[in-house]
Amino acid sequence: MTDAPQILLHHHLKKLRLPTFQGEYAKQAQICAAENKDHIQYLARLCEMELIDRERRMIERRIKAAKFPSTKSLDSFDFKIMPSLNKPLTMDLARCDYVVRRENIIALGPSGTGKTHIALGLGLAACQRGLKVRFTTAAALVHDLIEAQDERRLQRMQKQLTSQNLLIIDELGFVPLSKSGAELLFEVISQCYERGSIIITSNLPFDEWTEVFGSERLTGALLDRLTHHVHILEMNGESYRLKHSRKNRQ
């Protein structure tokens, strides 16, 4: 014979969107009975489990929405291999107070020094703290902006980008930008200015950014906005990837 109350309970829990509650209530009832827990303790345990699981799912959704090429944490970065990087500052930035203050981060250094890893780690930390994050390379972002402009959806894309708490632009300087591409990237950064935070990684020092943007005026205006409230992460030295590979082989 069908257990009508149980079916009704499942229906209500589904409507209320309490999947953990639904999956655990019977099991936890047995455990709490064996531990002589009263109904308040039983319900509190179920509610706690639901909240923990809900937060986990929300973090997973934010990580997926961020479009990280891979998921890397700061815990997996070997700071000993990159002594030029300020570890205390980097770990403090992982608390994400800079996002609340709408400050920016620029990581500078040669190719292979771990700039992307640091950006990914800070992005992951932001997702874990409930912030909206978007990761992209400079070349991919410019390509998407030009495509959006051609398809008359540029304004919608700009709105999506400026709605992020943290926009991460990786590999600025690897590819020179066209005049229109540089202007579109400048416009996005200007729109994000003091609305949210930006992390930029670049293999070029600031005095060489003109080679990327093709205009001293545009580069100056861009740096003026980015460096108004900024944390600079210097990552100079031998390739982090090469050193890490050597260390693993030893």
Distances (CA, A) of 182 to 15, 22, 151, 166, 222: 49, 52, 18, 20, 10
Residue 192 CB neighbours (<10 A): 23
User: Given the DSSP bridges, would you call strands 230-234 and 133-137 parallel, antiparallel or unpaired?
Assistant: unpaired
- Residues 57 and 79 grouped into a single domain: no
Q: Kindly state whether residues 56 and 82 are assigned to the same domain.
A: no
pLDDT digits over 78-132, tens only? 998 888 999 999 999 999 999 999 999 999 999 889 999 999 999 999 999 999 9
Residues 12 and 111 both lie in one domain: no
Give the count of domains, the chain: 2
User: Do 185 and 217 lie in a common domain?
Assistant: yes
User: What is the rounded CA–CA span in Å between residue 88 and residue 95?
Assistant: 11
Are 113 and 208 in a shared domain? yes
72 and 45 belong to one structural domain: no
> Hey, what are 51's tokens?
């909240």
Check whether residue 18 and residue 92 sit in a common domain.
Answer: no
Range of 144's domain?
Answer: 67-248
Contacts of 58 (CB under 8 A, 6+ apart): 130
Which ranges of 35-178 would DSSP assign to H, the alpha helix?
39-66, 87-93, 97-100, 115-128, 138-150, 154-162
* Helix 39-66 × helix 19-34 angle, to 10°: 150
Residues 181-237: tens digit of each pLDDT: 999 999 999 999 889 999 999 999 999 999 999 899 999 999 999 998 999 999 986
